[in-house]
A and B are shown apart, each in its own frame.
Chain A
Amino acid sequence: MYKVAVLGDRDSIYGFAAIGLDTYPVENDLDAAKILRDLVQQEYAVIYITESLQSKLESEIDKYVSMRLPAIIPIPGVSANTGMGMRNVKKSVERAVGSDIIFNND
């Protein structure tokens, strides 16, 4: 049985605990990388991560892109939506198709 984790600053993620996800609040980036590495080793199938943290841990996260599990999914935090998640989708379209044909109107 797999579990679901949420990683990010406390204010953005404390609500997820109420609906049964495991929350891992992080204070600084160094801890975050360590926690992420730990989570990947454990039985987490999905790790949601706030966009602000995702942009800081990009190199770490890129290592797990080609793995089947876990899926590391950026979500917007309390501070405004940075569009990071959409950019990631766009990036995979560019990777597959060669040019962006889905988002070309924005």
Chain B
Amino acid sequence: MASTQVNPTRMELTKLKKKLATATRGHKLLKDKRDELMRRFLDMVRENKALREKVEAGIHAANKNFLLARSVMVDEILDVSLMAPRQEIYLDAHTKNVMSVDIPEFEYKTKTQDENDIYPYGYAFTSSDLDDAVKSLADILPDMLRLAEVEKSCQLMAAEIEKTRRRVNALEHVMIPDMQEKIKYIVMKLDENERSTQVRLMKVKDMMLEQTYRYSERYKLNE
């Protein structure tokens, strides 16, 4: 395995141990981040689903109303009526940091605050169906903007969760076991070296004693 490439030195061991401690800590933190992101994501995606259902139904209804308006009005008049909109939307986008994901937050202002003042035409030549249609669309606008905010956040969070999960898995299944193996290898190698040094020292000591006191000759004499 990869552990054979590592130098079995004490310095390398200290370095690896430090790295392992960091990796373990990082793993724990990332795991926490993933769990929290997931919790928020699930809340948000539920809201997203509900909003989308509402907005889709709303737009469907508005389209129906516009179809009705078109059926009773001349196309030219309809076009002219909607040509110069009175209402305008000013959107302000902030970012909110949720677990290191920058998610957008929209705040919007409309040009005319009065909701009866949104119709960009006089009432003389238009059908009341057009009023209904414009009104129904104006009513779902806040939900549409909220949907944009939530849906974008969901997309960004999904990407971040995917990334975090990969990191957690890489740490858990590759980096940490790899480092543990390397550390084990170094410890074993160092122990082995120590034992061999000790044996060598014992042997040398024996030899030195032998040289000074000549044990073997004395034993021979005694025999």
| Interface, chain A (partner B; CB < 8 A) | 1-4, 12, 14-21, 45-46, 48, 65-66, 68-69, 71, 73, 75-78, 81, 85-86, 88-89, 92-93, 95-97, 101-103
Beyond A19-B85, A81-B60, is A69–B134 a contact (Cβ under 8 Å)? no
CA distance A96 to B165 in the complex (A): 9
Chain B nearest Cβ from A105, distance in angstroms: 12
Determine chain A's interface SS by DSSP, over half rule: mixed
> Is the Cβ of A93 less than 8 Å from the Cβ of B137?
no
Q: State in angstroms the CA–CA spacing of A21 and B134 once bound together.
A: 12
Q: Is the CB of B92 within 8 A of A96?
A: no
Enumerate chain B interface residues (CB-CB to A < 8 A): 38, 41-42, 45-46, 48-49, 52, 55-56, 59-60, 62-63, 66-67, 79, 82, 85, 87-93, 95, 102-104, 106, 110-111, 118-120, 133-134, 137-138, 141, 144-145, 147-149, 151-152, 154-159, 161-162
Q: Which of B118, B152, B157 contacts A96 (CB 8 A)?
A: B157
Are B56 and A15 touching (Cβ within 8 A)? no
Contact for A1 among B48, B85, B90, CB less than 8 A: B90
- Do A102 and B45 form a contact, CB below 8 Å, given A19-B85, A73-B148, A96-B162? yes
Least CB distance from B108 to A in Å reads 8
| A residues less than 8 Å from B56 (CB atoms) | 75-76, 81, 85
A71 and B161 alpha carbons, distance in the complex (Å): 19
Given the complex, which residues of A lie within 8 Å of B45, measured CB to CB?
Answer: 89, 92-93, 96, 102
The answer to whether B52 touches A86 (Cβ under 8 A) is yes
Shortest B188–chain A CB gap in Å is: 39
Nearest-neighbor residue (CB-CB) of A66 within chain B: B159
Q: How far is the CA of A39 from the CA of B102 in the complex (A)?
A: 22
| B residues near A75, Cβ cutoff 8 Å | 55-56, 59, 144
B104 touches A68 (CB 8 A): yes
| Smallest CB separation, A77 vs chain B (Å) | 8
Question: Which of B62, B91, B161, B162: most chain A Cβ within 10 A?
Answer: B91
